[in-house]
C-alpha cells in the first residue's frame, strides 16, 4: 500500500476502475489526461474497444479482463497499491462488494462506488464508501428544473 502524505494530490496516482462502460471509460481517460495511471477492469474484453489505443500503448490506461468482486482479479489489477478505487459497473451489488473489498481488504484510502438505488446509498456511505447515485442526482436536477 502506498504511503499517504499531503503531497498525494501533486503526484501521480494509481487508480483502479471497475467497469469500462461510459462512466468508467470517461473517468479513465480524464484521470489519465491528468497524469494518473489507470487500471481498467471489466468482465468483457469488448468493453475496451473505445479505450484510446495511444493511452494503452503509453501505459496510461491498462485494460484488464477480470471480475472486480474476486480478490485474485483485484490483486492482478494492483488494487493493493491503488490510491483510488472506483466501482462503476452496471450492477449495484457488484459495485458495493468490490468497493468494500477495496476499502476493507486492500485498505485503499479513497473508494468511490456508484449505487443506482438511492435507498441503499446511505447504507454504503456509512461503511466508509464515497457513494454516488446517478438516479438521485438526475431526480434532484429534474425537480429543480420543474420549480424554475
Per-residue pLDDT of the chain (148 residues), as tens digits, is: 444 433 445 689 999 999 999 999 999 999 999 999 999 999 999 999 999 999 999 999 999 999 999 999 999 999 999 999 999 999 999 999 999 999 999 999 999 999 988 778 777 888 778 888 888 888 888 999 999 7
Instruction: Name the residue range of residue 138's domain.
Output: 11-147
CATH code of residue 62: 3.40.50.720
pTM: 0.87
Residue 12's contacts (CB-CB under 8 Å, 6 or more residues apart) are 35, 36, 37
- Would you give the distance in Å from CA 92 to the centre of its chain? 13
Residue 2 lies in a domain: no
Amino acid at each position: 500500500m502506498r504511503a499517504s502524505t499531503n503531497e498525494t494530490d501533486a503526484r501521480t496516482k494509481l487508480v483502479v476502475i471497475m467497469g469500462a462502460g461510459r462512466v468508467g471509460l470517461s473517468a479513465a481517460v480524464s484521470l489519465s489526461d491528468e497524469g494518473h495511471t489507470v487500471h481498467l477492469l471489466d468482465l468483457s474484453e469488448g468493453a475496451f474497444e473505445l479505450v484510446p489505443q495511444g493511452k494503452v500503448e503509453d501505459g496510461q490506461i491498462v485494460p484488464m479482463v477480470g471480475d472486480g468482486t474476486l480478490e485474485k482479479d483485484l490483486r492482478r489489477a494492483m488494487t493493493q497499491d491503488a490510491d483510488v478505487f472506483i466501482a462503476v459497473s452496471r450492477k449495484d451489488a457488484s459495485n458495493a462488494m468490490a468497493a468494500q473489498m477495496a476499502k476493507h481488504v486492500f485498505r485503499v484510502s479513497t473508494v468511490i462506488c456508484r449505487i443506482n438505488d438511492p435507498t441503499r446509498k446511505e447504507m454504503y456511505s456509512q461503511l466508509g464508501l464515497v457513494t454516488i447515485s446517478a438516479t438521485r442526482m438526475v431526480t434532484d436536477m429534474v425537480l429543480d428544473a420543474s420549480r424554475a
